[in-house]
Structures are given as structure tokens and as C-alpha cells.
Amino acid sequence: MISLDGLRKSYGPRTVLDGVSLALEPGRISALVGPNGSGKTTLIKCILGLARADAGRLLVDGVPVDEQGRYRARIGYAPQAPHFPGNLAVGEVFAMLRALRPGAPVDESLLDSFGLRAEWATPVGTLSGGWRQKVSLGAAWLFRPEALILDEPTAGLDPIAAGLFKHALRGFRAEGGTVLITSHILSELEELADDVAFLNEGKLRFAGPVGALLQQTGMRRLEPAIAALLRGLRVESGAVA
């Protein structure tokens, strides 16, 4: 559904994305991994239209996106650190979102799974980090998106809520949804992901099925496989592995 073709982005003299080409396919969960400063956040911002690439193309269903960004209505996004007006109650946040897209079909199933209605009158600013994360995920899910972009989605969630979300995410994939997910918890990505994209210093060093990465590195788990890739890159560059 979403394709990046030769994406390049620099901030001053620093190249953050260096010719990244990546396809995010329907019915698959893609894990975006890499060390801090590898370009993951910038890549996500480019997809969402929050940053403009210096070169390359972003395509949705094979069609280059326009500057008006209408394609973004098809994407649900949950950031790593969600920010909502602290004085608004939970119910007011969702009422505001619905008012921004009048007439759009909504899916409140995740709100119900998380029990958010029990906090409907609670100001967002008084919620714990875990409850704010539930609000963020419920907002990303609200308008029945075709694609989800999730940055550390289970951060702060209790095990029950994390399990409920993973179950919902698998259902979303089974219905043909496209998912891009980042997390520092590689065991969680291994549990969910079909594909993995590994960024390092702005370059895409691997993109393909998780199984192909395990076979290439000779590892049985995702975490040591990523570590093996990173060690190999450091050896190639002459750095200490």
C-alpha cells in the first residue's frame, strides 16, 4: 500500500535518510528497527507528511501523494509520546476528533477493549502514562484506517492491555491492514512482525521477511539477528565490533 522510492532527507550537512526504498504491504506487519539516530523517526515523519523529503517519492497504492496530503486520512498514527490538551476529558478528546472528520465511519472497539469509557470524564492531563497510551491507540484506531504507524505502541501498557492490543493488531492484519511498527522490545516485534526493515546511519541495510533475516544471519531470534547485522556493519566500517 505505502511505498518509499529513493527517499533522501538532510538536516544541514547531516544526511538522515540516504536513498531509502521500502514497500509496506497490505496484510503484513513490518518492524522498523535500528539504533538511536538511524533515521527511524524521520522516515515516519516523511510518511506522515510531517517532514518533506529532499528527494525521492512517497506512493500510496502506486500513486505519488499530492501536497494536500489527502492520503493521510487513510493512516492511523500513534506516537511514542502522545500529547493531548491536558484540560480535555477523555470523552472530549474523542468528540473533538470526530468533529474534525464529520461523517467518517468510526471503530470504537479498541476504546471498549481498553475500558476507556470508565475514564470518559477524566482530564487527560491527570491520566497515567499507560492510560494516555490507551487514548493514543484508540485515536489511531478510531477512523478505521487502512494503515497503522505505531511508535513504541505498548510503552506503559500493562500486560493485559498489551495483550488486547496485540490481538486487535493481528485481526487488523488478517483483514488486510498495513502496519509499520517500531519498538525497542525486539521480542515483541518478533512476536508480531512478518517483515523487518533495518536502518543504520540513514541507509536501509536490510528489508524482507523476518525468516530471511534469521537465515541470513544464522540466528534463531530477531534480537541476536539484528545485533549480528550491526556488528557486521561496524566491522565493515573499521569500528570496534
pLDDT of residue 236: 61
- Where do the domains of the chain lie? 2-223
pLDDT of residue 241: 41
2-223: what CATH class?
A: alpha beta
Give me the mean pLDDT over the 207-234 stretch: 90
Task: Give per-residue pLDDT as tens, 173-190.
Answer: 999 999 999 998 888 899
Strands 195-200 and 28-33: parallel
* CA–CA dist 56, 79 (Å, integer): 24
Q: Where are the alpha helices (DSSP H) in 8-158?
A: 40-48, 90-100, 109-114, 129-141
- Tell me the pLDDT band of 9, cut-offs 50, 70 and 90: very high
pLDDT > 90: percent of the chain: 83
Strands 63-64 and 55-60: antiparallel
Task: Give per-residue pLDDT as tens, 138-185.
Answer: 999 999 999 999 999 998 899 999 999 999 999 999 999 999 999 988
